[in-house]
Amino acid sequence: MTRYHPILVVLHWLLALMVLGALIGGAFSLDPIPEDSPDKIGVLRLHMIFGLSILALMVVRLVVRLRTPHPAPADIGNEALNQVAPWLHWMFYALVFGLAASGILMSVEAGLGDIVFGGAPGPVPELDTLRPRAGHGLLALALALLIAGHIGAAIYHQAVRRDGIMRRMGFGRG
Ligand code: HEM
Ligand code: HEM
């Protein structure tokens, strides 16, 4: 067993793009638009649909991950790091689920479902004062840092240890 299941590979790269898109779009496009701007509802709608799609795909990925055999953990060359690496991988699932949960809580508290999807279009209430808003922002920051470390680790494996780690998250035989 040298590679992850092909479904996991497809979903890894699709989710990598989608999660990066949601982080960048959330922080640099959605957050800076004031609640009373006419653009807010459209960008919120996009963010919410995108976030809920990420949640659905991440659940599928978790189920497939738990039900398929996978390669033995890669050796980083340091026993302590070898121990924490799998936990860091599980952190991705925890952070993405936490982001989706806090996003949904925020939407329920502010009645965004009706406002954004047409049931009761109206002004978007002030979002920064909602309780789950702070959690959503902190989880997004934690996920961005985890991704930065994850990309750094992939580059380290590939360029320094030259252990072909990318192949494990790629397609093909052997
Ligand atoms: C674009 C930059 C990225 C690169 C180059 C990359 C690369 C990799 C590689 C090579 C592995 C295999 C590691 C191993 O076998 O030990 C892996 C695993 C993993 N990656 Fe990424 N990744 C990226 C982005 C992401 C993002 C944004 C997420 C968040 C959703 C993510 C979540 C995971 C998870 C959870 C695993 C563990 C395998 C599993 O649970 O199925 N990756 N990544
Ligand atoms: C699961 C992936 C998600 C990611 C990566 C993500 C990312 C982000 C980011 C980076 C921000 C801006 C944070 C800041 O600047 O402090 C944000 C704001 C927000 N997100 Fe998400 N989000 C996700 C899912 C969701 C979901 C599922 C919903 C709702 C159903 C949602 C609703 C919101 C709302 C209402 C805001 C506040 C906008 C504002 O203050 O103007 N998010 N999100």
Distance separating alpha carbons of residues 108 and 136, to the nearest angstrom: 14
Band the pLDDT of 174: cuts 50, 70, 90: low
Q: Does 74 reside within a domain?
A: yes
Q: Does 34 reside within a domain?
A: yes
List pLDDT tens digits, range 98-121: 999 999 999 999 999 999 998 787
* Enclosing H/E stretch for 61: helix 40-67
Q: Does 112 reside within a domain?
A: yes
Q: Give me the number of domains the chain comprises.
A: 1
Q: What is the DSSP string of 150-173?
A: HHHHHHIIIIII---HHHHTS-S-
Distance separating alpha carbons of residues 143 and 152, to the nearest angstrom: 14
List pLDDT tens digits, range 55-73: 999 999 999 999 999 999 9
Q: Does residue 167 register a pLDDT over 90?
A: yes
Q: Whose CA is nearest to atom 16 of ligand 2?
A: 137
124-148: average pLDDT: 97
33, 39 Cβ separation under 8 angstroms? yes
Counting ligands in written order, the one closest to the CA of 165 is 1
Q: Which of 30, 36, 61, 127 to mutate to test the pocket of ligand 2 (most atoms within 8 A of CB)?
A: 30
Q: What is the CATH number of the domain that holds 114?
A: 1.20.950
Average pLDDT, the chain: 95
Pocket of ligand 1 (CB under 6 A): 4, 8, 12, 15-16, 19-20, 65, 71, 74, 89, 92, 96, 147, 150-151, 154, 165-166, 168-169
Q: Does 173 reside within a domain?
A: no
Residue type, 153: A
Q: Does 39 reside within a domain?
A: yes
Tokens coding 91: 């952190």
Q: Does 159 reside within a domain?
A: yes
Q: What is the DSSP string of 79-131?
A: HHHHHHHHHHHHHHHHHHHHHHHHHHHHHHHHTHHHHHSSSS--PPPPSTTSH
Q: Does 1 reside within a domain?
A: no
20, 147 Cβ separation under 8 angstroms? yes
Model pTM score: 0.95
**Domain range spanning residue 22?**
6-168
Q: Does 63 reside within a domain?
A: yes
Q: Whose CA is nearest to atom 21 of ligand 2?
A: 103
